[in-house]
Amino acid sequence: MKTLFAGLIIISMTASCGLLIKLLSHQNGILDTEGMDNIESPNNDDNTIFITHRIFKYHVSQREINRCINFDLEMVVIPGYVNSQTKIKYKYKYNPADLTQEEIIDFTDSIYGLCRPTYTSVNEDKFGVDIHPPRSYTLRKLQLAPFPDVDFPIYEGRKGKGFLYIPRGNWGEWEKSKIKHNKIIKSVSYKNDSIINGCVVEGTATSKFGISTLEAHFQIDSGFTRLFYRFSDSSKVDFVLKEIK
């Protein structure tokens, strides 16, 4: 999508950090707008996938070098907007037994319990769909990976490229780094001979920290149903969509 990578540069400065909280508070008067009906959402009006109040429930399987973590994650489309994009909220449903004591202390919130939610955005328009994935807690490394996105019109072999610049903020050694992105639509599925049902997009992200890949499965009516991330250190993260409410 022609707007994606410019958006990545902007959002990378705000997602999962205090700047995003300030931005959202300024725009809507309140950060957590879940369940509210009196908040303007001008970027949601023509969405067919990411409709206000819709909930996408994923199961996440994460394998690191020394442990495996399995948990559920909810992506909630909430009223409001972020940089002229649809506002979303991530809810992490960890099992405390899978976390270290240090992680439990760091993740715990006095209001939300074990894990406070995070907020970012998704863009859906005539040019395609791109989503800012969860990049907090054990999923922080997704900042170095390709972002899920698909360009319209969909056709096999369609390619795209761009880059993400990580500015100073709270990203530690990753700050002031440039990540090159490349993608290609590898296959397309059809409802019948002429109506597209979905596609598989393969992406690669390259930086001084290594190479990571993403195989993203997209459906016209459901968004991204499966996301398979692979990293240079042999770790992996898999998302499988279980339910939409």
Q: What pLDDT is attached to residue 154?
A: 98
* DSSP H/E element including 19: helix 18-28
Structure tokens at 188: 């397309």
Distances (CA, A) of 14 to 9, 11, 83, 103, 118: 9, 5, 10, 23, 11
For residues 210 and 142, give the distance between their C-alpha atoms in angstroms, rounded to a whole number.
13
CATH numbers and ranges of domains, the chain:
4-244 (2.40.360)
Could you tell me the pTM of the whole model? 0.88
Nearest alpha carbon to residue 56 among 7, 129, 128, 1: 129
Q: What pLDDT is attached to residue 184?
A: 98
Sorted by sequence, the CB contacts under 8 Å of residue 11 that are 6+ apart come out as 82, 83, 85, 120, 121, 132
**Which tens digit of pLDDT belongs to each residue from 118-144?**
999 999 999 999 999 999 999 999 999
Distances (CA, A) of 31 to 82, 113, 198: 11, 17, 33
pLDDT in tens, the chain (245 residues): 444 443 343 333 333 343 444 444 445 557 899 999 889 899 998 999 999 999 999 999 999 999 999 999 999 999 999 889 999 999 999 999 999 999 999 998 876 778 999 999 999 999 999 999 999 999 999 999 999 999 999 999 999 999 999 998 879 999 999 999 999 999 999 998 889 999 999 999 999 999 999 999 999 999 999 999 999 999 999 999 999 99
